[in-house]
Structure 1
Amino acid sequence: MNIKTGIYGKNNNSAGKRKSPSILNEIRPKSSVENMIENPVHASNPVTLVRNSIGMEFILVPAGDFEMGSPSNEKRRKLWESPVHRVTIKKPFYLGRYPVTQEQWSKVMGNNPSYFRGEKRPVETVSWEDVQVFIQKLNTLEKTSEESSAYRLPTEAEWEYAARAGTTGSYFFGDDESKLKEYAWFLENSGLETHPAGLKKPNPWGFYDICGNVGEWVQDEYHISYKGAPSDGRAWESLFPSVSVPVRIRRGGGWNGNAGCCRSAERLFAAQDKKLNSLGFRVVKEL
């Protein structure tokens, strides 16, 4: 089956071709490698985006508060998604509109480790450690300073805040699992492989593939529950500082996960040196 690319090509959930982005008025001076671009297709609310020198697009996420985790009556919940706790995201930030693609990874790293090949598909089979190298090289490429690197992994709280997009249900579209196929590639519709980013509908803030397709590494180490979790949205680390290979959180389900793995509160984990063909990432661009 010939699937058109989702980022720059045809969207198979809407008729016709997607409109070409147009340049918007700047809210600050424009550099040669960064442009403001049009609101994403399907997004229910206006959003602000920027694009960097290798074509990565980022959505501005506002500061705010949310309830992180899942209540005891949520279907398919896990014990380590509790207790539900209030988190305040104090500073706005940009988050990748899509997971990082194989094309973007190759531009920075000069290789493609992915099992399922395709330039517009999410990069996968990358460890958390590999992602740190990518981010370091991306910051060098974009000429950011070491004192305040512009790019990094999202924290677990930032990821869930952006995934929920102001909603409180099991999914950002509500609690009805039957609607999931409109938004995500998962076990029931993926054909046991990844797909080009952006073919499904985005969440209310304009993020594509925030659930399904590939899971996504975040910065935090795994903790068995949210007891003692930071309330300010920062990364939660150093539970076992003496462990040689820390365990990190992965979010968002994937092509091989069931519907429950695509819930906004779902959290899984893997050793930070683990490489899986169902696990990729998206990045934060700091203001």
Structure 2
Amino acid sequence: MLLALGSCKSTAPSVSESNVKDFVKESYVEEIPATDLTFEMVLIPEGKFMMGSPESEANRKADEGPRKEVALDAFYMGKYEVTWDVFELFFKQNQELFKDLEVSKLDVIDAITRPSPPYEDPSYGMGKSGYPAISMSAYSALVFCKWLSSVTGKFYRLPTEAEWEYAAKAGTDTAYSFGDDVSKIDDYAVYYKNANNQYAKVGTKLPNPWGLYDMHGNVAEWTLDEYKENAYAITDPKNPWVQPTVIHPRVARGGSWDDDADVLRSSARVASSLKLQKRDPQIPKSFWWNTDSNFIGFRVVSPKVQPNTEEQAQFWQTVLDE
């Protein structure tokens, strides 16, 4: 399964300022066929980093350690969180937009089950155009990734927890990508004290050193991992991934507009639970939507070394139980 995550035979080096600049030049804009919508992907260099937080870090939680050196292969990551503009293309009622795709792509996307909008507005009236998509389950985010992969012909998925933290730290080893001085957070993050009780359009604050926006705050972001308190002790140091076996708990990262600053730290981890669905009256509860997660969205990644067709099929079988 590591191949499906985008493996590379070379040994991951430490990241330097010069090779990050070279990788930034290789970033790209993905055009979604049959639409005028695009999204930007930033190439994150292969490298090693210390995953977790030091015991000296303020507000550190026990599940952020023990610290572990992790090596990761190169991957592309969304410059911004996935917006409603892109996510809603995935809905059933927009299926007709893609009827003129080549037959091979059309056959695949027509076979992917897609959600209709929920009974209640999943944006909670906070805005849609240019705003991050929220309220979807981790399952829904993953099916979206499979749909996006089929439409574009490029493999997209959620980031692993390790990939997310590596990208968030962006070569730093401090509580936040901008340092340890929390007084600077208003410049980089939408969070409880400055959010005016709602999320903001993506990219309204300063980016981290690798050009990624809203890695701290705005909306928390789903990762590919099942939450384990002792994850760092049980996973491999190369491309670690706790493969999901349950709906909850999954790991969300980055904190949100409804969180205090300590939850926005680069190493902070949050476990999902059934509480995200507590107001859902359906039996069984929806696989697609959470009634109580208007603070969780996601961003996509794509391995620099693309998995082949068989590896992709194995990956979707694993994460979607197909």
Q: TM-score, normalised by structure 1?
A: 0.77
**Distance in 2, Cα, partners of 1:246 & 1:188:** 29
Partners of 1:81 and 1:233 lie apart in 2 by: 17
**Equivalent-residue separation in structure 2 for 1:281 and 1:92 (angstroms):** 19
Decide which of 63, 66, 69 is 1:80's aligned counterpart.
63
**C-alpha displacement of 1:106:** 1.4
Instruction: State, as a whole percentage, how many aligned pairs show the same letter.
Output: 39
1:220-270 CA distance string (max 9 Å, x none): 0001122222211232125xx4x5x33110000000000101100001011
SS at match of 1:249: strand
Q: Does 1:232 align with 2:216?
A: no
Instruction: State the alpha-carbon separation in 2 of the partners of residues 218 and 123 from structure 1.
Output: 15
Q: For residue 69 of structure 1, what is the amino acid of its counterpart?
A: G
Equivalent residues, number: 234
Counterpart of 1:198 (choices 179, 184, 203) is: 203
Q: Deviations over 1:149-206 (max 9, x none)?
A: x100000000000000000000111100000000000011001101000010000000
Structure-to-structure mapping, 1:88-127, within 5 angstroms = 88-89=71-72, 91-109=73-91, 110=94, 113-115=122-124, 116-127=126-137
Alignment of 1:70-219 (within 5 A): 70-89=53-72, 91-109=73-91, 110=94, 113-115=122-124, 116-144=126-154, 150-219=155-224
CA–CA separation in structure 2 for the residues paired with 1:269 and 1:200: 26
Moved over 3 A (4+): 110-113, 271-274
Greater Cα radius of gyration, structure 1 or 2: 2
Assess if the C-alpha contact under 8 Å between 2:70 and 2:240 holds in 1.
no
Alignment map for 1:41-60 (pairs within 5 Å): 45=21, 47-48=24-25, 49-54=27-32, 55-60=38-43
Structure with higher helix content: 2
Amino acid at match of 1:50: Y
| CA contact 2:40–2:79 (8 Å) conserved in 1 | yes
Superimposed CA distance per residue, residues 93-135 of structure 1 (whole angstroms, 9 cap, x where no aligned partner): 1000000001111123346632222210100011101101111
Report the equivalent of 2:294.
277
RMSD (Å) for aligned C-alpha atoms: 1.8
Using the alignment, how far apart are the partners of 1:208 and 1:154 within structure 2? 15
AA of the residue aligned to 1:98: Y
Q: Gaps spanning 5+ residues in structure 2: where? A: 1-19, 33-37, 95-115, 275-286, 305-322
Contact 2:138 2:222 in 1 (8 A): yes
